[in-house]
């Protein structure tokens, strides 16, 4: 394995922080545009990653009571972000999922994010684009290995 200098390590961390700040600023603009709280953002993330969820599972995941999560979901329903339905066989079970209109807006925002990436990449050569894309794929594999290791340890 090649020895990495402290200067190279600093540069990688600094660059990663710049990317993180840039991406988070775009995401934050989207959340602010929808006037979302941190708890609402967590629910959106969980549903985006895992699909429809039981209300009780969301409450456990967030470390909140069912009634608190229900209040958060009420506000998100009023904003036409989420819907909830009761289980047909057990009326006590409530499922939460995205509305069609919200999913459409997410798809539109994804297109905006893709266009931002394309704009960034249009000022690079084909070779640089290949390097950037390969680097992201490598980082993705590294992060996935770390996540898998943490999951097996728990």
Round to whole Å and give the CA distance between 50 and 47: 5
Region 21-46 average pLDDT: 73
Helices (DSSP H) in 64-99: which residue ranges? 66-78
* Cβ atoms 96, 73 nearer than 8 A: yes
Per-residue pLDDT of 44-103, as tens digits, reads: 888 988 899 999 999 998 889 999 999 999 999 999 999 999 999 999 999 999 999 998
Question: In b/e form, how buried is each residue of 77-116, taking b as 16+ CB within 10 angstroms?
Answer: eeeebbbbeeeeeeeeebebebeeebeebeeebeeeeeee
Round to whole Å and give the CA distance between 51 and 124: 36
């Amino acid at each position: 394995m090649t020895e990495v200098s402290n200067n190279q390590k600093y540069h990688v961390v600094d660059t990663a922080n710049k990317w993180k700040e840039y991406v988070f600023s775009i995401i934050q603009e989207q959340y602010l545009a929808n006037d979302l709280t941190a708890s609402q953002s967590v629910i959106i993330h969980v549903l985006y990653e895992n699909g429809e969820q039981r209300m009780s599972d969301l409450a456990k995941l967030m470390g909140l009571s069912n009634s608190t999560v229900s209040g958060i979901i009420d506000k998100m329903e009023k904003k036409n972000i989420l819907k909830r339905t009761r289980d047909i066989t057990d009326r006590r079970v409530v499922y939460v999922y995205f509305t069609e209109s919200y999913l459409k807006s997410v798809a539109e925002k994804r297109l905006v994010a893709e266009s931002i990436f394309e704009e960034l990449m249009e000022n690079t050569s084909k070779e640089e684009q290949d390097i950037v894309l390969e680097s992201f794929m490598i980082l993705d594999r590294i992060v996935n290995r770390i996540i898998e290791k943490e999951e097996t340890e728990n």
